[in-house]
């Protein structure tokens, strides 16, 4: 057995993985064309073209682009009718924006534990969280792995509660052959730097509902209405518009998104086939209705009980020394300081006790088991993927055979 790099051996890999985001010739040309020939904001053809093409790609009728995924969430929640004191059901294993957007709408995040097989919100626990204050159910397609939308939509119809999909990580993901995002009332995407489509920052809302998207237009555009006068403001909206340069960057990436998805699909399959054979490492599951994942993150589970009780942090250190950056990812949102300390800013949360929430599946995943690899690791060639496999095999074999080295 070769010596681990963390103990003085040679690392499996010393060169970086595929750079992300990628500054392609098409992207640069698109930016220059917009700068030289178009408005840079309102009225830009780049913005309208991107919105049309993004909605078409995602099997929806309408799209509104926004300045970020977070603003897209706020706009979508307000457009779904969320008002002060309303409750919004969300999972606790997601980025903070899923919860903070609810707070920014003066509403209350109600956490529902995850399904340990997929790390998505557990659909079988949603109904028990519904009250007469519940306004929206907001599932998150975590890592680009679709939530159980069939059950969630059935619950939505049963109780008359809207569904807004947080598809920030799920560009191109599919549920029963239809791309996610507009399966319910609407859904949002993010184009922040790490995302599978990136403009540095940016977001989008898609929907098949005309009334909803008209409200989204108003909330994201200073309260203006679709056919109203420029200085006619009917809602308390904000300037959450996407700029034209960012839109042109995203428009160029729509041309490469499918080919990049195919590369991630292929490389994910290779990793799954080998890593799933390592006793103590579990591949994240998916629902049978999931026809495609976006693979924004490669999420697996590490069971220290099967690795001589060597903690996950030691595994991370060893993998990172071998040149493969693995890390833990999220902690449960209800443990964020935002919720653990009282604040006069959020008086409508006074009756909600976030400090004593116990969600065992989320806590086990976050505290002990989750292992993340960024999506750009899946964009490499066969040699790159083999390096990931070799590092996993090298480190896990050492942990099993020489656990004393990790004390």
pLDDT in tens, 139-168: 999 999 999 999 999 999 999 999 999 999
Beta strands in 258-393 (DSSP E): 281-283, 290-292, 297-302, 370-374
List of E strands, 7-114: 62-66, 87-90, 108-111
Domain membership flag for residue 399: yes
Alpha-carbon gap, residue 345 to 225, rounded angstroms = 30
Sign of CA dihedral 358, 360, 362, 366: positive
Neighbouring residues of 379: CB distance < 8 A, sequence distance ≥ 6? 17, 18, 20, 260, 263, 264, 267
Query: Distance between CA atoms of 71 and 205, rounded to whole angstroms?
Result: 10
pLDDT at position 338: 87
CA–CA distance, 3 with 125 (Å, rounded to integer): 46
How is the beta sheet containing 178-179 ordered, strand by strand?
Answer: 178-179, 174-175, 290-292
> How does pLDDT run across 196-234, given as a tens digit for each residue?
999 999 999 999 999 999 999 999 999 888 888 888 888
Asked whether residue 250 falls in the same domain as residue 308, the answer is no
Contact of 333 with 166, CB cutoff 8 Å: no
Q: Please, is 223 exposed, middle or buried when counting C-beta atoms within 10 Å of its C-beta (0-12, 13-18, 19+)? A: middle
Residues 163 and 281 reside in one and the same domain: no
**CATH code at 223?**
3.40.640.10
Instruction: Give me the CATH number covering residue 348.
Output: 3.90.1150.10
Instruction: Give residue 230's pLDDT.
Output: 82
Q: Which pLDDT does position 342 carry in this prediction?
A: 66
Residue 271 domain-assigned? yes
Of 91, 87, 90, 88, nearest to 361 by C-alpha is: 91
Local structure of residue 226 (DSSP, 8 states): T
Check residue 66 and report its DSSP letter.
E
User: At which of 254, 285, 311 does a domain end?
Assistant: 254
The structure's pTM equals 0.96
Six token digits for residue 117: 């097989």
Last residue of a domain, one of 231, 254, 277: 254
- Sequence-ordered alpha helix ranges (H) in 149-243: 149-159, 210-220
Does 364 map to a domain? yes
**106 and 231 share one domain:** yes
pLDDT at 1: 61
C-alpha angle 343-349-353 in degrees, rounded to nearest 5: 100
Give the closest residue to 202 by CA, choosing from 50, 313, 99.
50
Distance, in Å, from the CA atom of 182 to the CA atom of 170, rounded to the nearest integer, reads: 12
Q: Is residue 390 part of a domain?
A: yes
Same domain for 144 and 283?
no
In a domain, 319, yes or no: yes
- Residue 140 three-state SS: strand
Whether 268 and 137 share a structural domain: no
Whether residue 200 sits in one domain with residue 116:
yes
Looking at the fold, whether 68 and 179 belong to one and the same domain comes out as yes
Q: Are residues 50 and 129 in the same domain?
A: yes
Q: Do 146 and 120 belong together in one domain?
A: yes
135 & 245 share domain: yes
Distance from C-alpha of 90 to C-alpha of 383, rounded to nearest angstrom: 39
Please calculate the CA angle 276-282-285 and round it to the nearest 5 degrees: 100
In tens digits, the chain (407 residues) has pLDDT values of: 689 999 999 999 999 999 999 999 999 999 999 999 989 998 899 999 999 999 999 999 999 999 999 999 999 999 999 999 999 999 999 999 999 999 999 999 999 999 999 999 999 999 999 999 999 999 999 999 999 999 999 999 999 999 999 999 999 999 999 999 999 999 999 999 999 999 999 999 999 999 999 999 999 999 888 888 888 888 889 999 999 999 999 999 999 999 999 999 999 999 999 999 999 999 999 999 999 999 999 999 999 999 999 999 999 999 999 999 999 999 999 999 888 776 678 889 988 999 999 999 999 999 999 999 999 999 999 999 999 999 999 999 999 999 999 98
- Burial, 230: exposed, middle or buried (Cβ in 10 Å; 0-12, 13-18, 19+)? exposed
Number of domains in the chain: 2
20 within some domain: no
Give the residue numbers spanning the domain of 344.
5-14+257-406
Instruction: Name the region of 29 (left: φ>0; alpha: ψ -120 to 50; beta: rest).
Output: alpha
Given 254, 280, 300, which residue is the final one in a domain?
A: 254
Q: Quick one: 387 and 267 in the same domain?
A: yes
Residue 291 within a domain: yes
Quick check: is 19 in a domain? no
Do 217 and 269 belong together in one domain?
Answer: no
Contacts of 194 (CB under 8 A, 6+ apart): 20, 296, 374, 375
| Structure-block tokens of residue 380 | 């490499």
């Amino acid at each position: 057995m070769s010596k681990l790099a963390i103990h003085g051996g040679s690392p499996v890999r010393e060169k970086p993985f595929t750079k992300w985001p990628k500054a392609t010739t098409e992207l640069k040309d698109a930016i220059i064309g917009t700068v030289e020939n178009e408005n840079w904001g309102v009225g830009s053809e780049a913005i309208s073209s991107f919105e049309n093409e993004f909605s078409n790609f995602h099997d929806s009728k309408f799209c509104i682009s926004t300045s970020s995924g977070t603003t897209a969430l706020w706009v979508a929640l307000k457009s779904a009718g969320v008002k002060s004191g309303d409750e919004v059901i969300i999972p606790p294993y997601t980025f903070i924006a899923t919860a903070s957007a609810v707070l920014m709408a003066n509403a209350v995040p109600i956490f529902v534990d995850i399904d340990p097989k997929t790390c998505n919100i557990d659909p079988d626990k949603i109904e028990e969280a519904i009250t007469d204050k519940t306004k929206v159910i907001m599932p998150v397609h975590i890592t680009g792995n679709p939530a159980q939308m069939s059950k969630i939509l059935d619950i939505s119809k049963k109780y008359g509660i809207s569904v807004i999909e947080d598809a920030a990580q799920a560009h191109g993901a599919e549920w029963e052959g239809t791309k996610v995002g507009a399966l319910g009332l609407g859904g949002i995407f993010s184009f922040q730097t790490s995302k599978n489509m990136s403009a540095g920052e940016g977001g989008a809302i898609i929907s098949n509902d005309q009334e909803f998207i008209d409200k989204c237009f108003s909330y994201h555009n200073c309260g203006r209405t679709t056919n109203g006068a420029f200085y006619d403001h009917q809602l308390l909206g904000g300037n959450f518009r996407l700029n034209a340069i960012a839109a042109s960057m995203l428009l160029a990436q729509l041309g490469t998104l499918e080919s990049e998805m195919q590369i991630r699909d292929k490389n994910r399959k290779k990793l799954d086939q080998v890593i799933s054979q390592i006793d103590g490492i579990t591949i994240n599951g998916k629902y049978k209705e999931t026809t495609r994942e976006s693979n924004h993150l490669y999420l697996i589970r590490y069971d220290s009980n099967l690795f001589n009780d060597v903690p996950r942090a030691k595994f991370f250190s060893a993998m990172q020394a071998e040149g493969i950056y693995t890390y833990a990812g999220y902690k449960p949102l209800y443990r964020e300081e935002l919720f653990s300390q009282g604040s006069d800013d959020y008086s409508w949360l006074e009756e909600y006790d976030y400090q004593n929430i116990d969600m065992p599946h989320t806590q086990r995943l976050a505290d002990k088991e989750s292992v993340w690899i960024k999506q750009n690791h899946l964009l490499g060639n066969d040699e790159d993927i083999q390096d990931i496999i070799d590092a996993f095999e090298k480190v896990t074999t050492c942990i099993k055979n020489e656990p004393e080295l990790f004390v």
